[in-house]
Amino acid sequence: MALFSKNTLTQVSGFDNQIISGELVYNQKTFWNLAFATEGVPVSLTGATIDAQIIRRQISNLVDTRYGLSFDIADYTVSTPTAVNLTIANRVDAAGTFTLVIDESAWSVVSTDTQLDINASDPVAFSGRIKIAYPASGTTPAQDSIIFLLFLVRSDGVVN
């Protein structure tokens, strides 16, 4: 996985917010198992709504610095992108766990996309979020927990 500079991550998630970021290969399938706990005690997801979405972004000024990849991120303007729903699987409410499934083939990136070229200076990018909406419980009001997402998608040099 690529290491992103703190400045790049801050553009997407702010200063102290959680973020899952990585560099994927075109058509790669992967997943992240997530577990929520407070002081070692699982946070129940009972009644919570969990969804995850990403959307295509445009990056520019990509530089590999000693602190990680650095770039500017903006709205994708080549066409009007639509948000892509990601799969949430293996949910176990009592354990506070679920799996975020990454299936890049569902993101509408085609092998002829010029940003997938092996020498592309600004590869395909997606940003988004996982939103966990907890309902009100007793005197505790409803609240949302957000985890930001940032992915670069590159060619492996074989497919494209």
Report the number of distinct structural domains present in the chain. 1
Q: Provide the CATH number for the domain around residue 132.
A: 2.60.40
- Return the structure tokens found at 97: 């766990």
Residues of the domain holding 145: 6-154
Residue 1 lies in a domain: no
**If you ran DSSP here, which 8-state letter would residue 5 be given?**
P
Distance of CA 89 to the CA centre of its chain: 16
95 falls within a domain: yes
Answer whether residue 73 is part of any domain. Answer: yes
> Are 88 and 97 spatial neighbours (Cβ–Cβ below 8 Å)?
no
The mean pLDDT values, 10 residues at a time, for the chain of 160 residues are 64 72 83 92 94 91 79 85 91 96 76 72 87 92 91 74
The beta-strand segments (E) located in 14-160 are: 19-25, 29-35, 37-38, 41-42, 49-65, 68-75, 84-92, 97-103, 124-134, 143-154
Say what the pLDDT of residue 1 is.
43
Asked whether residue 160 is domain-assigned, the answer is no
Which pLDDT score, from 0 to 100, does residue 116 have? 73
Distance CA 26, CA 142 (A): 38
pLDDT at 5: 63
- Read out DSSP for 98-123? EEEEEEGGGG---TT-GGGSTT-SS-
- Within a domain: residue 149? yes
What was the pLDDT predicted at 32? 93
The one-letter amino acid at 35: A
